[in-house]
Amino acid sequence: MAHYERKIPILDCGHEYTRRVLHGKWKIRILLYIAEGINRPSELERHIPQATRRVLDAQLAELLKHEIIDRTVFDESVKHVEYFLTDLGKSLMPIIAVMGKWGNEHIDKLRKAINSN
Amino acid sequence: MAHYERKIPILDCGHEYTRRVLHGKWKIRILLYIAEGINRPSELERHIPQATRRVLDAQLAELLKHEIIDRTVFDESVKHVEYFLTDLGKSLMPIIAVMGKWGNEHIDKLRKAINSN
DNA sequence: ACAATAACTGATAAATTTATCAGTACCTAA
DNA sequence: TTAGGTACTGATAAATTTATCAGTTATTGT
C-alpha cells in the first residue's frame, strides 16, 4: 500500500472514528463471520463469494491496522492464518448488532428509499 | 443530480442499509444539530464551517431521500426552510449516540490507529 | 512434474464520494 | 441600485474506495 497521504482529513471526534472503522463494504460481514469462528481468509472467501479475495485481504488489512482484529499464524504442515477480534473489536460488536437490528426493522422502507432514483 | 445508475449494488441486508444511511462525511453532525434545533441550512452552514454550503445541501438532500429528515418551507417575508427528524430519523439517534460513545471511549487508540501510515 | 490450496502483494482501472466554482431566484434594508 | 441574506442547482474536478488482473512463495497430494 506504500504510505498514502490522505488529503481530506478525518474529523477528530468519536463519531467520525467510529464511522471510519465501520466504513468498508465488507467489514461488518467479515467481523460477524470472525465473531462466529469463521476466521481464516480462505473460509471468509468461501462465505463471501461476492467479494474477490484481493478485496477481502484489503479489508482485513484495514481492520488489522485499526486494531479491531488481530492475526495468528499457524506454522503447521500447511501454514495458515486465523483472525480474531481484539478487545476493541469485541467492544464494537454491540454497535454492529444495533445497526443490524435497526436496518432489519426498517428494511422495506430503507430498500425503497435508498435504491430509488 | 439527474438519475445516476449505481453500478456497484448495495447489499440487501439491514447492516448495509444502516451503513449507507450513516455514510456521508457530514451526516452525523448534521443530524445531531438538527436534533438539537439547529435546523435551517444557513444555521448548519455557520455551525459546520469546514464544509461548503454545496456539500451540506447534497448531504441534506440524501438524508431527505432516505427519509431520515423532512423539510418545511416557511413562506414569510423572507422564505426560509427548516429540516426536522422524521420518526425514522429519531429512531436512528440512539445508534448515533452509541457510535459517539464508543468512539470517544477509545479515541486515543483510534486516532493513532486510523491516522497512522 | 503438475495441479491445487494456503496467504499474500503490486499495479492499475472503475466507481463513488467529496469538494470547488459558478450560477439562479427572491426578498430586505441601506 | 447595490449589497447582503435566504435556499438552491449544474457542471466538473479531486480524492477516495472498490474492483480487476496478474503475479509471488510455500506446501500437499497426484
For B45-62, how does the pLDDT look when each residue is reduced to its tens digit (9 = 90+)? 999 999 999 999 999 999
Residue A71 counted as domain residue: yes
Residue A1 counted as domain residue: no
Predicted confidence band of residue B4 (pLDDT cuts 50, 70, 90): confident
Instruction: Please state the domain count of chain B.
Output: 1
Tell me the average pLDDT of chain A.
96
Residue of A5, A17, A116 to mutate when probing chain B, most B C-beta within 10 A: A17
So what's the pLDDT on residue B115? 93
Say yes or no: Cβ of A47 under 7 A from any atom of strand C: no
For B78-96, how does the pLDDT look when each residue is reduced to its tens digit (9 = 90+)? 999 999 999 999 999 999 9
Q: What is the CATH classification number for the domain harbouring A45? A: 1.10.10.10
Residue B48 counted as domain residue: yes
Sequential DSSP letters for chain A: ------SSPPP-SHHHHHHHHH-STTHHHHHHHHHTT--SHHHHHHH-TTS-HHHHHHHHHHHHHTTSEEEEEE-SSS-EEEEEE-HHHHHHHHHHHHHHHHHHHTHHHHHHHHH--
Q: How many CB atoms lie within 10 A of CB A97?
A: 13
So what's the pLDDT on residue B79? 95
Q: Is the pLDDT of residue B3 over 80?
A: no
For B103-112, how does the pLDDT look when each residue is reduced to its tens digit (9 = 90+)? 999 999 999 9
Distance B17 CA to C6 C1' (A): 34
Residues of chain A with pLDDT under 70: 1-3
**Long-range contact list for B75-80, CB < 8 A, 24+ apart?**
B80/B40, B80/B42
Tell me the average pLDDT of chain B.
96
Residue B6 counted as domain residue: no
Task: Provide the residue range defining the domain that includes A110.
Answer: 14-115
Residue B8 counted as domain residue: no
Which residues put CB within 7 Å of chain D, the nucleic strand? A 4, 6-8, 23-26, 51-52, 54-55, 58-59, 77-79; B 1-2, 8, 40-42, 53-54, 57, 60-61, 71, 73, 78-81
Residue A64 counted as domain residue: yes
So what's the pLDDT on residue B1? 46
Residue B54 counted as domain residue: yes
Q: Residue length, chain A?
A: 117
Q: Hey, is B70 helix, strand or coil? A: strand
Which amino acid appears at position A89 of this protein? G
**429512531: which residue's cell?**
B91
Q: In which element (H, E) is residue B96 found?
A: helix B87-105
Contact A14, B99 (CB under 8 A): yes
Predicted confidence band of residue B117 (pLDDT cuts 50, 70, 90): confident
Mean pLDDT of B8-12: 94
Q: Is the pLDDT of residue B12 over 50?
A: yes
Say yes or no: Cβ of A114 under 7 A from any atom of strand C: no
Say yes or no: Cβ of B111 under 7 A from any atom of strand C: no
Residue A3 counted as domain residue: no
All three cell numbers of B72, joined, read 418545511
How distant is the Cα of A76 from the closest Cα of chain B, in angstroms? 31
